[in-house]
Structure 1
Amino acid sequence: MTDYIEPPQDLPLSPRVKALRKAYETAIGNLDKYRQENAGYATKRSLNSLDQFVYYVPAIREAEKELREQEIEAAANGKPLPDRDKMLRPIEQKVSEYRRMVPALEALVTRARHEYAEGVKAELVSMGLKEAKAAQKARDDWEKAYRAAMEAKTTLEKHAGLFSWCVSQGDMDSAPRTGHSQGDNLEFWELTEDGRLSFEASQALDFLDYMVKVPGLIEPNPNPPIAEEYNHNPKPRHFIAKVDGYGDNWEH
């Protein structure tokens, strides 16, 4: 770990190191806030008409623009020119302060970051042991839950097989698909409000019509296919004008 790698937030840090992290975050916040509130005193860079980089301070540029306007106004009215130093000196002082304050705040961030990093390093062993213990507990819980899931699955297969035996009048002793590569799909097992296997579940489980010999255990199809009515109208017979060479009942 270096000073520039942010530790995970979930590390079990001690109160002391948490305080160091808070101090580090506060130092970053103070630097950001100062830069935002005094952005006009920071040196900027832009391209001029010759595609050359020029450096300027927005606050000074605005003050000089205001000074020129006052100078023009004073000349137009025959009045003395405004005091340049009086107008620009406060801005220049703020610019000088900005150039000194930002490095100082950055140094505080660096110091706080270093102290926080060193605090974390000092507790890596103790935190690592805590995490190892927590991982072991999670692993034991997972194994317990897995065993319970396997036992429940075995129970599900047992009762689904007994249901299959009942619904098939003894022709099946296990749920359909058991042993097939696609599995038995028992996760689709679902009952209706009256306790019967739902029609959708029976389709997912592959209870085909020929397997179901006992009615009342599976919900009937809620949308049975509509049987087409038999058309008793005979097909009309067509004849051509001349039937020579064709049979009497030739149709086309």
Structure 2
Amino acid sequence: MHKNYDANFATEPPADLPTSAKVRTLRKTWRDAEAKLSDYQRENSRYAQRKTLNALDQYVTHVPAMQDAEQELREKELAAVEAGKPLPDKDAILAPVKAKVDEYARTVPALRKLVDKAQREWSDALKAEAVSTGLKVAAKAAEAREEWQRLYEAALAAREDLERQGALFSWVATAGSVETLPLEGASAGNQAEAWELSEDGRLTTEAAIQLGFEGIALVDGLVVMPEPVVDGQAEAEAEFWRTYKPKIYLAGRPGADGNSVGSFDNWAY
């Protein structure tokens, strides 16, 4: 038996989930609250506390905006004493920044609570509709299953027709020698899906090879026969050797010194 559980939806729902207008509105409220929190943190990040390692490898907390304000105060204090003037008002420089830091420290938790509240309200509303929503999806799945069954059976019937027509072609193309597709019964199947015709209606060479017609005597005019491959270099070489006549060296007349020396002006072809 399955176990019942207390649903608590906390993740982004599928875009095509068929929920009610109420649930969709609450979801938008939740996402808007998250965006508001993110925007506030990004725009006021200078007022957030940060932890960093100091020179002694110790974690210390600081607020960038306060560091900048304190640096500004020190510079103004130095300028004042150098000019012999009264020190600047410390609170005038630090108080506005400290107020923003305090505001940030209070606002972020409040915005997080708003996000949690909006998410909980959305989750509760979705939970309340879980059964009705689930039944809607179940009905849609049943419709899809029926459509799949219809298309599957249609595909099987179309495949049978393809194989039957291909077998008729085989019988004609082989003058009755082959009554099925050539690869019928092979472990890889009869490859009927490779059937493809050229523009003039004949079976293409590639399709004939994939279907298993290669090496089978076929009625001329039903399959596109590939053009013979011409190797120009090989033909030229064959022609050279066909007409080749070797050069024959003839011995020359005796030379002036009485030696018989080959004469380079006497060659036979």
TM-score, normalized by the shorter chain, greater than 0.5: yes
Distance in 2 (CA, whole Å) between partners of 1:135 and 1:225 is 59
Distance in 2 (CA, whole Å) between partners of 1:58 and 1:206 is 77
Kindly provide the CA deviation profile for residues 56-103 of structure 1, in whole angstroms up to 9, marking residues without a partner as x. 110000000011111111111111111111111000001111111111
1:144 aligns with 2:135: no
Assess if the C-alpha contact under 8 Å between 2:9 and 2:126 holds in 1: no
TM superposition shift of 1:213:
2.7
Residue 225 (structure 2) aligns with: 220
1:129 aligns with 2:116: no
1:99 aligns with 2:102: no
Equivalent residue letter for 1:117 = S
* 2:95 alignment partner, SS class: helix
TM superposition shift of 1:11:
1.4
TM superposition shift of 1:219:
0.5
Distance in 1 (CA, whole Å) between partners of 2:8 and 2:188 is 51
Residue 59 (structure 1) aligns with: 65
Residue 175 (structure 2) aligns with: 169
Assess if the C-alpha contact under 8 Å between 2:8 and 2:127 holds in 1: no
Distance in 2 (CA, whole Å) between partners of 1:18 and 1:223 is 68
Distance in 2 (CA, whole Å) between partners of 1:103 and 1:20 is 21
Distance in 2 (CA, whole Å) between partners of 1:96 and 1:3 is 34
Structure 1 residues 132 and 222: alpha-carbon distance in aligned structure 2, compared to 1, 3 A threshold: farther
TM superposition shift of 1:187:
1.0
Structure 1: gaps of 5 or more residues: 237-252
Question: Rg bigger for which structure?
Answer: 2
Kindly provide the CA deviation profile for residues 212-246 of structure 1, in whole angstroms up to 9, marking residues without a partner as x. 33111100114547597596699x9xxxxxxxxxx
Structure 1 residues 3 and 165: alpha-carbon distance in aligned structure 2, compared to 1, 3 A threshold: closer
Give the aligned length.
Answer: 234
Distance in 1 (CA, whole Å) between partners of 2:61 and 2:168 is 86
Residue 46 (structure 1) aligns with: 52
Distance in 2 (CA, whole Å) between partners of 1:90 and 1:223 is 91
TM superposition shift of 1:42:
0.4
- TM-score normalized with structure 1 length: 0.88
Structure-to-structure mapping, 1:14-53, within 5 angstroms: 14-53=20-59
* 1:23 alignment partner, SS class: helix
Distance in 2 (CA, whole Å) between partners of 1:27 and 1:94 is 21
- TM-score normalized with structure 2 length: 0.82
Assess if the C-alpha contact under 8 Å between 2:26 and 2:122 holds in 1: yes
What is the aligned counterpart of 2:91 among 75, 85, 88? 85
Structure 2: gaps of 5 or more residues: 1-6, 247-269
Residue 120 (structure 2) aligns with: 114
Residue 246 (structure 1) aligns with: none
Assess if the C-alpha contact under 8 Å between 2:80 and 2:86 holds in 1: yes
Structure-to-structure mapping, 1:141-220, within 5 angstroms: 141-209=147-215, 211-220=216-225
What is the aligned counterpart of 2:15 among 1, 9, 13? 9
Percent sequence identity is 44
Distance in 1 (CA, whole Å) between partners of 2:85 and 2:18 is 72
Moved more, 200-209 or 106-115: 200-209
Equivalent residue letter for 2:71 = K
Assess if the C-alpha contact under 8 Å between 2:197 and 2:204 holds in 1: yes
